[in-house]
A = this chain, B = another copy of it.
Amino acid sequence: MAIRESTEQRLLDAADDLFFTRGIAATPIDAVIERAGVSAATLYRGFPSKEALVAAALERRHLEWIETWDAAIARAADDEERALAVFDALDDFRDRPIGSRWCAFLGTAAEYGDAPPEVAEAVRRDSDALRSRLRNLAAPLVAPRSRDDRRRPDDGTDHRASRLGDELLLLVTGDLAMRLREPGHRTDTARGIARVLIASAR
| Residue ranges of A at the interface with B (Cβ–Cβ < 8 Å) | 21-23, 25-26, 101-102, 106-107, 109-113, 127, 166-167, 169-178, 180-182, 189-190, 192-193, 196-197, 200
Could you write out 29 A-B pairs with CB less than 8 Å apart?
A23-B25, A23-B111, A23-B113, A25-B111, A26-B111, A102-B110, A106-B180, A107-B110, A110-B110, A167-B192, A167-B193, A169-B181, A170-B174, A170-B175, A170-B178, A170-B189, A170-B190, A173-B174, A173-B178, A173-B181, A174-B174, A174-B177, A176-B177, A193-B193, A193-B197, A196-B196, A196-B197, A196-B200, A200-B200
**A175: B residues at CB distance < 8 A:** 170, 174
**Bound form: Cα–Cα A157–B13 in Å:** 45
**Bound form: Cα–Cα A48–B181 in Å:** 27
CB <8 Å contact, B109 and A180:
yes
In the complex, the count of this chain's copies comes to 2
**Bound form: Cα–Cα A197–B193 in Å:** 7
* Minimum distance in angstroms from A115 CB to a CB of chain B: 11
Besides A110-B111, A193-B193, 11 other A-B contacts (C-beta < 8 A): A21-B113, A25-B25, A26-B111, A26-B112, A26-B113, A127-B181, A167-B193, A170-B175, A177-B177, A193-B197, A196-B197
Which of A23, A102, A110, A178 gathers the greatest number of chain B CB atoms within 10 Å? Answer: A110
**Bound form: Cα–Cα A174–B167 in Å:** 10
* Minimum distance in angstroms from A70 CB to a CB of chain B: 21
